[in-house]
Structure formats: structure tokens, C-alpha cells
Amino acid sequence: MKKILVIMLAVLMLASVVCFASCKKEDTLTVYTEAGFAPYEFLYEGEIVGVDIKIMQAVADKLGKKLVVEDVNFDSIVGAVKTGKADAGAAGITITAERAEDVDFSIPYSSTEQYVIVKADNTEITNMETMTGKKVGVQQGTTSDFLIDGLIKDGAMAGTELTTYDAPSLAAAALGTKIDAVVTDKLTAEVITASSNGAYKTFKLTKADGSDVAEVEQYGIAVTKGNKELLDVINEVLEELLANGSIAKWEKEYNDLYSTVEE
């Protein structure tokens, strides 16, 4: 009798654990981001806010789920989505062929180009050639990181010293001391510069002859490969938000809000 009770109890406990895990997963939408990337995601009064959070809140609302946003290192997001640890990655993630081998991407919701940030009094660095041989900072695992790393390796920027940081703003904070230039996505470069009280300036990364160094990039939300159910809802929400101008509106709003954040 005692034995049966113990077994019953064990079964009950197991069932509740299973339910806890699966029930919990069923009513929450877990999104990974890296909150050092205004206006798409940044910390404001202790909370993660921004365009990507607004988008994912709209997705969670449509699904009737609670949104859970986790702030992690940018270069761990695609891996976490790949293994299903996160339901989605929303972090101004550029859609690339390499990443698309690991995760599925939504329709593009924003586009960007690579920008350079230098100290306002730096008259030397104005393009790729004048940045060559200097010390450049990027956010670890981003398209800026891959671009500059590739240019160094293929000889176009030979001799350049590349340092990776956890966030573009941390790289910017090292300008003038440890590094000479930061390369990051356009809007992020612009908000960092705008909130620098005139300490920095920013410009598009081009070659000396004015031609492009890199292609225009598109942002997508990443989901676990094959999670069509979630991807369909994300795409539906994005289509609505693009059509009614919400995304462009939020880009501006969070741009303005970031400028009020004390660094």
C-alpha cells in the first residue's frame, strides 16, 4: 500500500513538473534580444523598451500570450532560437544567408546600412581607406563585426585592429582612448551620436570614391526553423505595422526617448 502511494505521488509530481514546463511554455512567448541597440531595444527606467519590443508585444497580444523578453549577448541569440530555448529573436537582426541556415526569418521590417562613429574633432577618418590601419570597435557577432573582419582578412583594410564590444555604445565609450572609430548600424550610430552632447559625429561607411563598401541590410525576426505557426503570426503583425506606419513612428519615438536616457 505504502509503495503504491509512493509511486502515485511520484507520478503526480512528474505530471506536475511536465505540465509546469509545457504549460508555462504554452502561455508565454519568450523573446531574446540584446538591449544595447536603440531605438530597437534599450533600457529605459529599468525596463527593456524599443521598436522590437513593441512588435513582439503585438505578436504576443495576437497569440494571447504573455511576452517574456530576455536581455542576452547579441551573438547568442540565433543559437538560442535555433535550439528552441527562445521562441524568437528580435534584436535588429540582419537577415543573412548564414543565419538563415540556423533559423527562419520573418519578412523584412526595417533596413539599414553600416555607419561610422568617430570623435567630433577627428578630421582624419572619413571613409574606409582613411580608417584602414586604425583601431576599430564593433559589437561582437554583428554584421559590422563580420564586415570589418572580412575587409581586414581580404586585404582591403589590412593592418586595422578590430576590437569587439558587448554593445555599440560601449564601443563608442572607448572612442579617443582605446579606439579611433566604431562601425554599427545606421540608426544606432545616429542615436548614439545625437545623445553624445556633440562629442561624436557619424557618417555612412563608403570608399574614398564614394562607392558602397557593403550592401543595404534588412532586419527580420528570427524563429526556430519550421515554426510556421509563429512565423505566420509574426508576418501578419509586421504587415499590419508596416502598412499603418507604426514601425516608422516607433523608430522616431524611441529615437527621441533614447536621447532622454542618462548615459
Choice between 80 and 91, CB closer to ligand ARG: 91
Choice between 92 and 122, CB closer to ligand ARG: 92
Report the C-alpha gap between 132 and 152 in whole angstroms: 8
Least spacing, CB of residue 158 vs ligand ARG, in Å: 23
Residue 175's SS3 state is strand
* Position 36 contacts ligand ARG (CB under 6 A): yes
Cβ atoms within 10 Å, residue 178: 13
Q: Do 95 and 222 form a contact (C-beta atoms < 8 A)?
A: no
Least spacing, CB of residue 216 vs ligand ARG, in Å: 11
Choice between 116 and 122, CB closer to ligand ARG: 116
Cβ atoms within 10 Å, residue 42: 25
Chain-centre distance for alpha carbon 19: 32
* Position 39 contacts ligand ARG (CB under 6 A): no
* Position 42 contacts ligand ARG (CB under 6 A): no
Choice between 30 and 139, CB closer to ligand ARG: 139
CA distances from 144 to 48, 53, 93, 248 (A): 23, 23, 12, 23
- Interface of this chain with ligand ARG, residues 204 to 263, rule: CB under 6 A: 217
Single out the residue of 36, 35, 201, 177 nearest to residue 116, CA to CA: 201
Choice between 175 and 186, CB closer to ligand ARG: 186
* Position 41 contacts ligand ARG (CB under 6 A): yes
Least spacing, CB of residue 138 vs ligand ARG, in Å: 9
DSSP 23-89: HHHHHEEEEEE-SEETTTEEEETTEEESHHHHHHHHHHHHHT-EEEEEE--GGGHHHHHHHTSSSEE
Report the C-alpha gap between 232 and 159 in whole angstroms: 46
Least spacing, CB of residue 217 vs ligand ARG, in Å: 6
Least spacing, CB of residue 239 vs ligand ARG, in Å: 21
Q: Which three three-digit cell numbers place residue 32? A: 531574446
Stretch of residues binding ligand ARG (CB under 6 A), selected from 65-73, 90-98, 195-203, 206-214? 90-98
Least spacing, CB of residue 197 vs ligand ARG, in Å: 23
- Footprint of ligand ARG on this chain (CB under 6 A)? 33-34, 36-37, 41, 74, 91-94, 139, 142-143, 185, 217
